[in-house]
Structure 1
Amino acid sequence: MKFGVFEGDGIGPEVTSSSRQLLTSVLTHVGADHHIESMPLGFSSINFGDRSPDPDMIALAQSCDGLILGPVDFGNYPPSELGALTPGAMLQRSLDLYATVYPVRTLSGITPPQIAPFDVAIVHLNEPGYVMNEGQGTVNEMMPTSEVAMAVRKITREGSTRIAQTAFEAAERRRQSLTVVHQTDLLPLTEGIFMESVQELAPDYPTVRVNELRVEDTIGVLINAPQDLDVVVTSNAIGRILTDLATSLSGTSGVIGKLLQGSSRVMVQTHHGSAPTIAGQGQANPSAVLFSCAHMLSALGHRHRRQPLVSAATAILDSLSGCLAQPAQRTSELGGPLSTHEFTELVIAGTLDRLPEPRG
């Protein structure tokens, strides 16, 4: 199994180094054949005169089962008309990573005490919808006159079917509950295609309970009873809003990550930024990329029917949660005494303690 590590900007090289350490230790422990290759990628590696993706980068990515993309400094990227595509946009487009999955969970010691524990996976389309195509300008917007602005939304049946399948498979592995969030009352055509695609797949997953909610009702459930949600599937713009709300409620914006999934590979990416002000100081909190790596191993383990990877993912999640629950076991960014490297070593040790001893 091959993994590609793209360092990104700011604290990216530090937190992706942590992910590489974790993967190497855990995969070696469970006896999984693996190869990990790192490659600088981010603001410093962009060729501003060439809009095309770096062929070496894409070739490496296409050869991998799993990819790790460090945080990127979006704020300092030049305008798209100058030829700069962000790394995430290049990889997502080139690898056909059509689904974004945000696993959001409360964490002891991190989540505000008044929030009831919850664990939800929010799955959304990567089709642009109302969101502009990165690197191509606001192609979904137009101004027929200086006083009128219009937006065009794109939803396809193929994209909706693929995202629905991703969500159903996630629900099967979790608590067999899928909530479909929509706005069919306002957008009957585009939301209609999305809803029809989910409904048509439902008979193929008889163990999964399917519930439908409007956006405004889902917001109410997230605020008042988030524990009632398991897997949520929706379109791009709605998914981004629900994810931001869920992470804000859980207090975990800086410690959770996300998965971008396609039919052949999985890429992880942090939810937080590149934190350039603390880059190179050993203060960075690598939890988001480590959590993401755990979910990547779980996704690959289920996809390839390799239970040791699934067990490794569970051990990583439990070790991370245990470390973050104790202030004395956190990085300085979270008010603890540990460096990035010390925290990573602690998480690795806790993970290996939770796994069976290697055979032979």
Structure 2
Amino acid sequence: MPKKIVVIPGDGIGKEITDSAVAVLKKIDNKYKIDLEFSYYDAGGAAYDKFKKPLPEETLNAAKNSAAVLFGAVGGDKWDNVAPELRPEKAILGLRKELGLYANLRPVKTIDALIKYSPLKSDIVRGTDIVIVRELIGGIYFGEKCEREKYKGTERAWDLENYSIPEVDRIVRLAIKIAEGRRKKVTSVDKANVLATSRLWRRTTAKIAGEYPMVKLENMYVDNCAMQLAINPTAFDVIVTGNLFGDILSDEAAVLGGSIGLMPSASIGEHTSLFEPIHGSAPDIAGRGIANPLGTILSAAMLLRYSLHEEAAACDIEAAVDEVLAAGYRTADLFTAGFKKVNTFEMTQAVIGLIK
């Protein structure tokens, strides 16, 4: 049976980078005979312009019935004055909710060819290889909230943080499963010295870890974790944490490798999962053919690994990306004198040329 991949380009550079990733996947499909089938749907500002809604039912239904979703990016200045509930960003939030995308995976790997682009000293960042596992549909972002109320004679607002044991259980088990295939270490990040939800998180994590004696568990407060990512990133293997802390830490870690344009991500659901680069829609360079496609191409590798269980194919793409960068190919965001400046298409073709 064909593996149905729903492609949602979105806005800005979304079409350019998803086109690149699809081209690479087609080359992989030709080699490994996976039988991929691609279909395209609108979301974000592009969908709002056509349908007056950022996430059409047709797009959502197609995503629900797919093997995986390859997503570009949404948003841009064009839609700044759209009503909040109709903003392009509501598309990705809606997909997370409707697809039950409970975990976001952010791999952070520093390769030798790009060490000089990292803001950290090379002896600190060399060898960094982390996966951050962030709980994605719970916690303070999805808790009850009040925008404005009177309390003791003054105005206040509030957001409620809460987690249940089942929510913590499934995200921690996923993190441990990932660690089993890596260096067998999980760092659980919380604020258990202050927050009741973090104490539940820590109790639950300890109980689950007891079932996996081959994986080492360490607990770390979020403020210390933020510091250690900057001074000792190679100490981490898999980091697991809640929605708020994961949002902040994954963005901090994203700069370790030297370019946000290289960073892929996966949002794991109970049935369908979604894969996207972490950079934005970059409307200022849209249509110019200079966007860096590697984050999306590496997201396609994650699609193969986590949704289709095609590990060899995923590794093939990742090795090709490493080799292209080692050979000195650079898009405009990474180019400096002495390297080979290429556009989006040329970078994509260089990757495809290395998949034999």
> Same-fold call, TM > 0.5?
yes
Select 1:274's aligned residue among 272, 281, 290: 281
CA distance in 2: counterparts of 1:116 and 1:241, whole angstroms: 22
The unaligned stretches of length 5 or more in structure 2 are none
Q: Which residue of 1 aligns with 2:169?
A: 161
Give the Cα separation in 2 of the matches to 1:170 and 1:91.
24
Say which structure is richer in strand.
Answer: 2
SS in 1 for 2:169: helix
Q: Report if aligned partners of 1:140, 1:153 keep a CA contact under 8 Å in 2.
A: no
Contact 1:101–1:122 (Cα < 8 Å) also in 2:
yes
1:22 maps to: 24
> The residue matched to 1:332 in structure 2 has which SS?
coil
1:202 and 2:203 are equivalent in the alignment? no
1:100–1:140 Cα change, 3 Å: farther
CA distance in 2, matches of 1:267, 1:42: 15
Residue 322 (structure 1) aligns with: 323
Which residue pairs with 2:127 in the alignment? Answer: 117
TM-score, normalised with respect to structure 1? 0.87
Contact 2:55 2:90 in 1 (8 A): no
2:93 maps to what in 1?
89
Give the Å deviation of 1:289.
Answer: 0.7
Would the aligned equivalents of 2:13 and 2:73 in 1 still touch at CA under 8 Å? yes
Residues 1:79 and 1:162: Cα distance change in structure 2 (over 3 Å): farther
RMSD: 2.3
Determine if contact 1:48/1:84 at 8 Å carries over to the other structure: no
For 1:1-360, list aligned pairs within 5 A. 1-46=3-48, 53-73=55-75, 76-77=79-80, 78-81=82-85, 86-111=90-115, 112=118, 114=122, 115-131=125-141, 139=145, 142-145=148-151, 146-187=154-195, 189-302=196-309, 309-327=310-328, 329-335=329-335, 336-350=340-354, 352-353=355-356
1: CA distance between counterparts of 2:76 and 2:90? 7
**Does the Cα contact within 8 Å between 1:132 and 1:140 map onto a contact in 2?**
no
Displacement of 1:149 after TM fit?
A: 3.5
Instruction: Determine what percentage of the aligned residue pairs are the same residue.
Output: 28
Question: Deviations for 1:172-205, whole angstroms, at most 9, x for unmatched residues?
Answer: 1211111101101110x21122223322222332
Distance in 1 between the 2:27 and 2:318 partners?
15
Alpha-carbon shift at residue 128 of structure 1 (Å): 4.3
Listed one character per residue, the Cα deviations across residues 219-270 of structure 1 (whole Å, up to 9, x for unaligned) are: 2321222111000000111111111211123323221021100121221122
Superposition TM-score, scaled by structure 2 size: 0.88
Instruction: Give the conservation status (yes or no) of the 8 Å contact 2:185–2:237.
Output: yes
Secondary structure of the structure 2 residue equivalent to 1:110? helix
Deviations 1:80-127 (A, max 9, x none): 245766221111111101111111111333233523320100011113
* Distance verdict in 2 for CA 1:256–1:210, change over 3 Å: same
Look up the equivalent residue of 1:342 and give its one-letter code: E
Structure 2 equivalent of residue 305 of structure 1: none
User: What's the offset of the Cα at 1:168?
Assistant: 1.1
CA distance in 1, matches of 2:11, 2:54: 20
Alignment coverage as a number of residue pairs = 340
User: Equivalents in 1 of 2:296, 2:210: separation in Å?
Assistant: 35
Report the equivalent of 1:306: none
Structure 1 unaligned segments of length 5 or more: list them.
Answer: 303-308, 354-360
Which residue type is aligned with residue 93 of structure 1? K
Q: Take 2:230 and 2:87, find their aligned partners in 1: how far apart are those partners?
A: 41
